[in-house]
Amino acid sequence: MEHIYSDFYKQPVKITERKPDVLGVVLHDDAENYQAKDYIDWLKKRITNHELEKGWACVYVDMHTCYWFHPSEYTEWHCGNTFANTHYIGIERCQSKINGVLNDKAFMRNEEASFKIAALLLKKYQLPVNRQTVRLHKEFFETECPARAWSIHLGNVKTNQENIEKLKDYFIERIKSYDNYSSEKTLDIIG
């Protein structure tokens, strides 16, 4: 996997303040057809047009590329919820549009990449992998996100605590399978 970093990783100027504490990750489905690399220009445009308040996350992932937009220790605008934005790292899983460019099997390869990144980030912050640290956008905000994963792994079921936990448990199991994926070196390049 190729890791690409924005200028926010090189320059002292950041968009936001530091998070008071990092408590875990939120796995998002972007509901778009964009690859991770497409978000480089997409986010540049958002900056140029002064539209960052529409939202952005730390990292954009597909099966080939990880685009690190903004350092994970800083507040992100990814959940529409102040507590989540200031305490969780947003992982945008790319090309997740339902009936979009990827079939379910291909999207699940992007998902697997996101689980590896989640495993690395949680390890970097020395956090366990559990229902407190692995979160869904819809736990914090009125949204269908992560809609693609919801439809693939749960089907057409309503949003309630039981189904939220079912999907989270699947994410947790997959993230745990990458427990030995990291080395000191990989932890240095992520976040």
Q: Which residues bind Zn ion (CB under 5 A)?
A: 28, 137, 145
Question: Least Å distance between CB 10 and Zn ion?
Answer: 27
Which CB, 134 or 145, lies closer to Zn ion?
145
Which CB, 46 or 181, lies closer to Zn ion?
46
Indicate the SS3 state at residue 152: helix
Distant-in-sequence, close-in-space partners of 114: CB < 8 Å, separation ≥ 6:
27, 61, 91, 93
Question: Least Å distance between CB 96 and Zn ion?
Answer: 10
Which CB, 113 or 145, lies closer to Zn ion?
145
Which CB, 116 or 148, lies closer to Zn ion?
148
Question: Least Å distance between CB 84 and Zn ion?
Answer: 10
Question: Least Å distance between CB 187 and Zn ion?
Answer: 25
Output the DSSP codes for 70-129: S-TTB--BSSS-HHHHHHEEEEEESS--TTSSS-HHHHHHHHHHHHHHHHHHHHHTT---
Q: Let me know: does 173 contact 29? Beta carbons within 8 Å.
A: no
Report the largest interatomic distance among the alpha carbons of the chain, rounded to a whole angstrom: 46
